[in-house]
Structure 1
């Protein structure tokens, strides 16, 4: 075997390693790019829709043009400690790990920064690999972006139905209104649909969805001390 033939596998391995390193580093470079207010990021799901020629509906809307009803509802439903943690809620994370080790059923511990990192750079589904990649991305993005920018990006890339991305498209699709004019009940229904927007349809809520929305609506009305990082 000649030296040239022996070198080919090493060269291929080198290219694979460099490609893997580039894919790992790229999201961190994009985090700094996405800090620019005029940049409108897209999620991996949106990219997949384009790749499969499915298309999607997303109309970017600035944070100030989103109803505070919706912002409060999403915070109370998805991440009540959003203003006080730095990307990861370690207390919740510790509880989930302890429950897992003890064999008990686990609950979600994903913060809004973690969900944003997953939507922007990773994939759906549960795996330790994805979570290991997600945590540092959430920490860096929370350190780089303001809380308002984080919430703005999250609400503009979240999925609210098949091919429906972002709160403006969701408001028009489900309630024939704009993101700025969402009522308290509409906001609560959209918030509780986020964990599974395909099965939980905000505009066609089940009895259990209505009950959960009523709880979120009440919490949102009482959320003044929790949203100080977003509203003065």
Structure 2
């Protein structure tokens, strides 16, 4: 793979390579995930030293194969300071992309959602609706999103204006009230599912936060093969530590 024009990108992960270099996993606008070798990036005065998560970049790389060489990384804006909760949210969406996408698969629409998510997590710390939107859009782009239009059992259409409880089940979809859920299912209001299948441009009702999180978590875990996410483990530990003195995240992120 060779490019001269370059591409917008965000850093998902990086790790040492040799004595002075880094392997960097990028999420790019037109190429999707891309692994590059940043030679000499661990040197203090290297122009690539500031290639890090949370900073929008314009990158150019040279070479073909699994690990082309990062030739240029220009900052497109400052990396605003993030607190512990914001950093954990960023770690979470980055880990999802690393675990569920393949290198070389372009997702330009998801790239735009990623940028919106980073912007909102900076501006609205303590809210979780934007993570639910990212999770749903990720599943949609991968072609794995559950059908939220009708009951998987009888085909009845979901009406979000009705005050009733529906159930969701990973890899199957949603079930109407006529089909009693088993212990493995998550129940949530029809209106919450209506929000989830819509534009999701504004925060959802706070009462839906926990059920929406559990529904999407169940769906994601199915596609993750049951392997836990390190970011979720760290997030749960952080929330247990701060819960006695803080009300942030309002139940949307609590385990």
TM-score of the pair, normalised by structure 1 = 0.27
TM-score of the pair, normalised by structure 2 = 0.26
Structure with the bigger RCO (C-alpha within 8 Å, sep 6+) is 1
User: Which structure has greater helix proportion?
Assistant: 1
User: Which structure has greater strand proportion?
Assistant: 2
